[in-house]
Structure 1
Amino acid sequence: MPKQMKRFENKVALVTGGRSGIGRAIACRLRDEGATVITAQRGKDEEFNWVEADFSNPHTPEQVIEEVISRNGRLDVLINNAGMIQEAAIEELSLEDWERNLHVNLTAPFLLVRAALPYLRKTQGSIVNTGSVEGLATNPRHAAYSASKAGIHGLTRAIAVDHGHEGIRCNAVAPGWIDTELNLNFIEKTADAEAFRNDIGRIHPVARTGSPEEVAALVAFLATEEAGFITGQIYTVDGGRTAKLSLP
């Protein structure tokens, strides 16, 4: 990224789940482009100004927004990135687990947006949600995760439709396999990590998996004024994986 690119000077951005993975890459990208960045998640963020947040608690989203405004006086960019995943077949998934997954992945972003709207109206701000290719298709044993991410895609469109006339835009990214620390650790724990890496590379037309920074680059663009005529869209970031038909 050219050093002169400072598209977020004098802007305040909140990134949920910004301490690791895709969220961290987004937070770094926005900061490098001039934004004042606050992250929100469980546990201390050693790099960014942060807010303690347990998004399974329905009161947390409003408290997080209030804290951001208290510290900075404004909000220009909201990145709903925090989430969870639980592997379980439908018959193994309790109602409590189902509701927790949907609350963290879908209800919490809804509550964050609802609390942030009065401040985003003032700044004509932008919202970018982290969806998933599993909101478009699904992997085995991911019923709750897939349903919640499909919901995020629908919520993204609804926000764009309802609030576009107020100058608020809302888009989403739908990442595929991204080399986060969590995914890399998963690979290393497989029986044959090298074979797994080769296999997963072959299912992508670009012949590799993605980086968090590649997702962050798109998120940053969608949050800028350069993307002023883009709203209600879901952008797949998966190296062409979902475009490729499987072999017989």
Structure 2
Amino acid sequence: MQLLKNKVVFLTGGTEGIGYECAQAYHKAGAKVSIITHKAQSLHQCRMQFFNDDIHYILADVSVSADVQRAINETISRFGKIDIIHNNAGVSSPSKTVCDTTEEEWDKVFNVNVKGIYHTTKFGIEALKASKGNILNSSSLVGNIGQELHAAYTATKGAVNALTKSMALDYAEHGIRVNAVAPAGVWTPMLRRWSNQQPNAAHIKNYLDEIHPLGYCPEGDVVADACLFLASDQARFITGCILPVSGGAELGYRKYMGQPLQKVDDQKVKL
């Protein structure tokens, strides 16, 4: 069954990791997908692997108002409408405390992770009113539980959670649902690069497996499946939900007992 047959998805951050898995899941479910990224090389590589008439790529930065307005207009011009806006684009660096984070770094994280949602909603809301569509935000488990050395990132994900609920109330009268997914650890290219550069990669894999009570750190497809459900009519009476896709990582107390973790490329484990 194609859950998104004849739907149009506006997906930010859709060329890598969880976003790429979502793009594939949405397309397989029958949707036309407009994929937005600010990374030219990533866009090119993704287009070489995943391209047909129902996929449209746009180079744009979600933190820039004019870029998002252009991307929304281009999507409507190409596909005629927008049914779903999935705000997946996000950055996690720097790996720092509040006091060690510069003002420029703080603003960058908020401008992408939170203001990006402001931009897509501001310029896409009329299209969603017309289609009675829905909005899906990519949050994180750390928006609820916190994480050391990621003050700015966790702050943005807490903001995303609160914003999701407020938007759900604001737009319910238009038949627009607003939800979010909150993963814990997920194997993405970035996480694999980080883990391979640790002193003992085997310990890192065990650590990432063990923080999830279900026993393993998943691939991005498990998040994509949850996103597909929330974006589809099967979730037609769900709004304001922050759905954990965490394997139970928020349950109980777990602490890494192996060798100390290292920062690599200004990144730590991103949950």
TM range (shorter): over 0.9
1:147 aligns with 2:140: no
Give 1:138 deviation, angstroms. Answer: 1.9
Tell me the equivalent position of 2:97.
Answer: 89
1:191 aligns with 2:199: yes
SS in 2 for 1:170: strand
Q: Deviations over 1:155-186 (max 9, x none)?
A: 11111101111110010000100011111111
Query: What is the TM-score of this pair, normalised by structure 1?
Result: 0.95
RMSD: 1.2
The one-letter amino acid paired with 1:147 is A
1:18 aligns with 2:52: no
1:161 aligns with 2:169: yes
Give 1:149 deviation, angstroms. Answer: 0.7
Distance 1:121 1:56, change over 3 A: closer
User: Structure 1 stretch 42-51 or stretch 156-165: which is displaced more?
Assistant: 42-51
Give 1:56 deviation, angstroms. Answer: 3.1
Give 1:193 deviation, angstroms. Answer: 0.2
Q: Whole-Å Cα distance in 2 between the matches of residues 10 and 181 of structure 1?
A: 31
Q: Percent identity?
A: 31
1:33 corresponds to which of 29, 48, 70: 29
2:86 corresponds to which of 45, 63, 79: 79
Give 1:59 deviation, angstroms. Answer: 2.3
Give 1:69 deviation, angstroms. Answer: 0.9
1:70 aligns with 2:82: no
Q: Whole-Å Cα distance in 1 between the matches of residues 199 and 165 of structure 2?
A: 41
The one-letter amino acid paired with 1:62 is Q
Query: What is the TM-score of this pair, normalised by structure 2?
Result: 0.87
Give 1:13 deviation, angstroms. Answer: 0.6
SS in 2 for 1:236: strand
Instruction: Provide structure 2 residue ranges, at least 5 long, that are not aligned to the other structure.
Output: 256-271
The one-letter amino acid paired with 1:189 is Q
Q: Whole-Å Cα distance in 2 between the matches of residues 128 and 145 of structure 1?
A: 19
Q: Whole-Å Cα distance in 2 between the matches of residues 145 and 197 of structure 1?
A: 23
1:229 corresponds to which of 237, 244, 247: 237
The one-letter amino acid paired with 2:66 is H
Q: Whole-Å Cα distance in 2 between the matches of residues 170 and 225 of structure 1?
A: 13
SS in 1 for 2:114: helix
Tell me the equivalent position of 1:7.
Answer: 3
The one-letter amino acid paired with 1:126 is N
2:185 corresponds to which of 162, 177, 189: 177
The one-letter amino acid paired with 2:156 is S
Q: Whole-Å Cα distance in 2 between the matches of residues 50 and 80 of structure 1?
A: 15
Q: Whole-Å Cα distance in 2 between the matches of residues 134 and 195 of structure 1?
A: 22
Instruction: Provide structure 1 residue ranges, at least 5 long, that are not aligned to the other structure.
Output: none
Tell me the equivalent position of 1:122.
Answer: 130
Aligned residues: 243
Tell me the equivalent position of 1:109.
Answer: 117
The one-letter amino acid paired with 2:146 is T
2:56 corresponds to which of 39, 43, 49: 49
Q: Whole-Å Cα distance in 2 between the matches of residues 239 and 154 of structure 1?
A: 22
CA contact (8 A) 2:12 2:62 kept: no
Q: Deviations over 1:11-54 (max 9, x none)?
A: 11111000010000111000001000110002224124210012
Tell me the equivalent position of 2:143.
Answer: 135
Q: Deviations over 1:136-156 (max 9, x none)?
A: 122211111001111111111
